[in-house]
Structure 1
Amino acid sequence: MRLIAATWQPIWHDTPEGWLTRYREALTALEADRDTLMVFPEYTALEATFYGEVTRDAPLDAKAWMARGADHFDAYCAGIRSLVQDTGATILGGSGFARKGDAFVNRALFCAPEGEAWLEKQMPTPYERALDMVAGDAMPVLDTRFGKVAAVICYDSEFPLISRRCAEAGAEILLVPSCTDTEQGASRVEIGCRARALEGQMIVAMAPLVGEVPQCEVIDVNLGQARVFCPPDGAAPADGTLARGPRNAPGFAIVDDLSESLAMAKASVEVSVSRHWPESETDANPGVLPVLCLK
């Protein structure tokens, strides 16, 4: 079984279906099949809107892109479902703007031949809050043929308790689609993913958006590198990196031996953070510490 995290660069297309053709070609080149679990980055769903003359005469601002993205989100998800049906692969599609009542959330479709679930960003970034986006709902931990899978979107990975709840529910694989426009932002997500792998003793796959889309204010500049992490323990690589894609360029981080990697991630040799975590939340280690003034 394989785990593939995409470092994806959106491009402009001549037709509304151009993005789907591109996805199909990528899956064909990767020989994606029933034994493939694949994750696309945050805001990749916006590529379904990149066609036509939309920006030449009347450039869109961020809120107009939100509306355009939401108008195309159902069609994007329908395309992901068709890819799953055709290949048998399990795919976490790229997230995008979706309407939730009168508001917008950052949402992605997790789609497998056996069923599907929605993932929503729980912690909007300051930029997203400035656009009046709202917090979404967590995706349940899914018991799949690859193992128990959970997912969080970008900024969510920087909040330990969100991923901790996934680990406590049995998650073995955490998928993290991301979109950052600075090297600092990319580093923050990477640091979060490495920490979540260590704390939860699970595999964490980060899939970032890369490249420039000057026509789209929301994702005009994107930096990152797809990585797959596990706890750096036992037989694992010294830095805990199981696979990496190219930096700031399109490509894929691929783990071909997912079952073996899962077993390695759960093995406790020198550390066992997951088992010892409850000891950090006892009366001797309270959640809130007193402040002692020594001035």
Structure 2
Amino acid sequence: MAEDEHPRFVAACVQMRSGRDPLANRDMAVAGVHEAAGLGADYVQTPEMTSLVERDRARLFETVGPQENDPTLASLREVARKDRVFVHVGSLAIRTGDRIANRAFLIDPDGEIRAAYDKVHLYDVDLPNGESWRESATYTGGDCAVVASLPWAEIGIAICYDIRFPALYRALAEAGATVLTAPACFTRQTGEAHWHLLQRARAIETGSFMISAAQGGRHEDGRETYGHSLIVDPWGRVLAEAEGDAPGIILAEIDLAQVAEVRGRIPALRNARPFTVRHA
């Protein structure tokens, strides 16, 4: 950690194309984290549903288990220890009784779980091309936003569909987060229309960095995801972007001085005022 008032660190996103084999996905994630650490990353983020992309409810329940038995979580804790890096697991499917939690984890360089977050907003949508998704039929939504501490910054943890709810990101920023996240399994259709806009908007509105690792390509369960993992600065500039939907790694230096500069220039968080709405 730098000693100055506004430290810097190197962030990385591991873009994946997770399939139906959790152990193969685990190995891909571990290899990606190890490679990113070797490239100088201090913090490495994987996408939503790192260990399994499976739309069939019965197969999903047959495959996933409780947190304490999850092999991907155990292996990512181990690689965090070995490579002395913070690992942000975008999310794993975790069995919780008769439901599944879409749960993110922040793992420190000692392999300890610093924070966990259950996706608050569930993806219940009907898209123009006929795609229909009902996450609430399988997943249980969280009810608590999470800000966790890195040595260099406070990080707001969120997942995929959460990015369409700016009030969540504003609350994270008001609680002290200077880095915000949205690791995702974004559908190709909505990604092409909205991915970049939403990432840049959340960064600009809050004067924060946005770091979002993504799934990309055609998955074994038939879905297509957009890819284009992004790291965006507080002014809305894209610092790093994955090429298309192919698996790979992106890195960028995160200079926290930019947060103070942007929030000082346009103090939208400080200038917000309470108001009511009336019908005229």
1:168: Cα distance to partner?
A: 0.8
Is the 8 Å Cα contact of residues 12 and 36 (structure 2) preserved in structure 1? no
Following superposition, the deviation at residue 8 of structure 1 comes to 1.4
- The match for 1:76 is 72
Give aligned-pair identity as a percent.
22
Q: Which runs of 5+ in 1 are unaligned?
A: 48-59, 233-238
**C-alpha contact 1:156 1:162 (8 A) present in aligned 2:** yes
Partners of 2:55 and 2:174 lie apart in 1 by 41
Q: State how many pairs are aligned.
A: 259
Q: Distance in 2 between matches of 1:287 and 1:246?
A: 44
AA aligned to 2:241 is R
Query: Shift in Å at residue 12 of structure 1?
Result: 6.7
1:155-213 residue CA offsets vs partner (Å, 9 max, x unmatched): 11110111111111100111211112223245434322212111211101111101222
SS in 1 for 2:87: strand
> Which of the pair is proportionally richer in strand?
2
Separation of aligned partners in 1, 2:266 and 2:147: 24
> For residues 55 and 188 of structure 2, what CA distance do their matches in structure 1 show?
20
Whether the 8 Å contact between 2:23 and 2:71 is mirrored in structure 1 is no
**Aligned residue number for residue 123 of structure 2:** 125
Task: Tell me how large the CA RMSD over aligned residues is.
Answer: 2.6
Quick one: distance in 2 between partners of 1:29 and 1:132? 34
Aligned positions of 1:1-295 closer than 5 A = 1-10=9-18, 17-32=23-38, 36-46=42-52, 62-71=56-65, 74-113=70-109, 115-116=112-113, 117-126=115-124, 127-129=133-135, 131-185=137-191, 187-214=193-220, 216=221, 220-232=223-235, 240-255=237-252, 257-258=253-254, 260=255, 262-268=256-262, 270-277=265-272, 279=273, 281=274, 286-288=275-277, 290-292=278-280
Residues in 2 aligned to 1:177 and 1:23: alpha-carbon distance in whole angstroms: 14
Larger radius of gyration: 1
1:169–1:253 CA distance, 2 compared to 1 (3 A): same
Between the aligned partners of 1:34 and 1:137, the Cα distance in structure 2 is 35
Give 3-state SS (helix, strand or coil) of 2:82's partner: helix
Separation in 2, partners of 1:23, 1:153: 17
Question: d(CA) in 1 for partners of 2:52 and 2:97?
Answer: 20
Q: Is the 8 A contact 2:123 2:161 kept in 1?
A: yes
Q: By how many angstroms is 1:26 displaced? A: 2.6
Question: How far apart, CA to CA, are the structure 1 residues paired with 2:143 and 2:87?
Answer: 19
Mapped to 2, the partners of 1:133 and 1:22 lie a distance apart of 25
* Cα gap change, 1:68 to 1:112, in 2 (>3 Å): farther
- Give the gaps of 5 or more residues in structure 2: 1-8, 125-132
TM-score, normalised with respect to structure 2: 0.82
- Letter in structure 2 aligned against 1:196: R
For residues 272 and 69 of structure 1, do their structure 2 counterparts lie closer, same or farther at Cα, with a shift above 3 Å needed?
farther
- Measured after TM superposition, the shift of residue 33 of structure 1 is 8.3
1:178 to 1:34, Cα distance in 2 relative to 1, 3 A: same
